[in-house]
């Protein structure tokens, strides 16, 4: 079974070493890659850059860097891309990302990329070896229809995406139905299912509501009464 891990940069620079140690332990599972995110509107870029630099060394799996366009100028995004490529990173997860104020609807930066499609096309023409796009088995919260969602995924494929990584889901059938719809729509890319290890169910519920991932009743039932149980 192929597996990869996604790491968030620590809240402060002092936590870099701890995350590096976690990545070292995860490397024992021989993942295909470890990806490193950063926050809404490019927040936490410095910590993400430091983490990428620490992990993109011998002894660690291939590093994939998230790069988002929301709330940032094209110059900011390209500077980040150049910095990561200088560290030897050639794999990217290219996303629109959330606005700095996540309650606000997306609006392109006046001097920025207009969409993830533009970002992918740029990455594809500037040395990126792997470009991963996002996909939503239950539909993006802002998508007007299932058909529009699939059209957008097909456009990502045409823009240069080499694979898709889905938002997490809790029911396998949800992913399988989505995969079949995508294939019927002419999407031939590898679709990698996203899985969320639930460490805090209350936080998972809040995040799921924002990203459009439904939580079936059987999951609620399994976590019932465990909110004060750290194990």
What is the CATH classification number for the domain harbouring 48? 3.20.20.220
Tell me the torsion sign for CA atoms 4, 139, 190, 67. Answer: negative
- Among 128, 158, 180, where does a domain finish? 128
- Among 79, 98, 128, where does a domain finish? 128
The answer on 159 and 230 residing in a single domain is yes
pLDDT of residue 123: 92
In b/e form, how buried is each residue of 52-89, taking b as 16+ CB within 10 angstroms? bbbbbeeebbbbbbbbbbbbbebebbbebbeebbeeeb
**Count: domains in the chain:** 2
Q: What distance in Å separates the CA atoms of residue 98 and residue 76, rounded to the nearest whole number? A: 16
The answer on 10 and 104 residing in a single domain is yes
Residues that are catalytic: 6
Q: What distance in Å separates the CA atoms of residue 205 and residue 218, rounded to the nearest whole number? A: 14
The answer on 29 and 114 residing in a single domain is yes
The answer on 119 and 11 residing in a single domain is yes
Q: Which domain holds residue 228?
A: 137-231
**pLDDT tens for the chain, residues 1 to 231:** 789 999 988 888 889 999 999 999 999 999 999 999 876 555 567 888 889 989 988 889 999 999 988 778 888 888 888 888 888 899 999 998 765 555 566 676 668 788 899 999 999 998 899 999 999 999 988 888 989 999 999 999 999 999 999 999 999 999 999 999 999 999 999 999 999 999 899 999 998 988 889 999 999 999 988 776 656
The answer on 216 and 144 residing in a single domain is yes
pLDDT of residue 1: 74
The DSSP 8-state label assigned to residue 61 in this structure reads: P
- Among 88, 111, 128, where does a domain finish? 128
The answer on 123 and 17 residing in a single domain is yes
The answer on 118 and 55 residing in a single domain is yes
The answer on 124 and 24 residing in a single domain is yes
Residue 8's contacts (CB-CB under 8 Å, 6 or more residues apart) are 36, 37
């Amino acid at each position: 079974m192929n597996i990869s891990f996604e790491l968030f940069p620590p809240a402060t620079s002092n936590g870099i070493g701890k995350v590096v140690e976690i990545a070292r332990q995860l490397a024992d599972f021989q993942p295909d890659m470890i990806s490193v995110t950063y926050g809404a509107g490019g927040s936490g870029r410095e910590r993400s850059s430091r983490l990428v630099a620490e992990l993109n060394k011998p002894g660690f799996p291939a590093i994939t860097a998230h790069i988002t366009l929301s709330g940032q100028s094209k110059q900011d995004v390209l500077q980040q891309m150049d910095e990561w490529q200088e560290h030897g990173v050639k794999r990217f997860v290219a996303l629109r990302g959330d606005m700095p104020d996540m309650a606000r609807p997306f609006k392109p930066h006046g001097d920025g990329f207009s969409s993830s499609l533009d970002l992918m096309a740029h990455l594809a023409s500037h040395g990126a070896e792997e470009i991963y796009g996002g996909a939503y088995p239950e539909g993006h919260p802002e998508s007007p229809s299932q058909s529009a969602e699939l059209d957008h995924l097909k456009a990502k494929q045409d823009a240069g995406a080499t694979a898709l990584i889905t938002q997490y889901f809790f029911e396998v059938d949800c992913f399988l139905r989505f995969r079949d719809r995508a294939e019927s729509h002419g999407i031939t890319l590898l679709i990698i299912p996203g899985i969320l290890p639930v460490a805090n169910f209350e936080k998972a519920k809040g995040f799921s509501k924002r990203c459009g991932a439904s939580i079936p009743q059987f999951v609620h039932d399994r976590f019932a009464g465990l909110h004060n149980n750290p194990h």
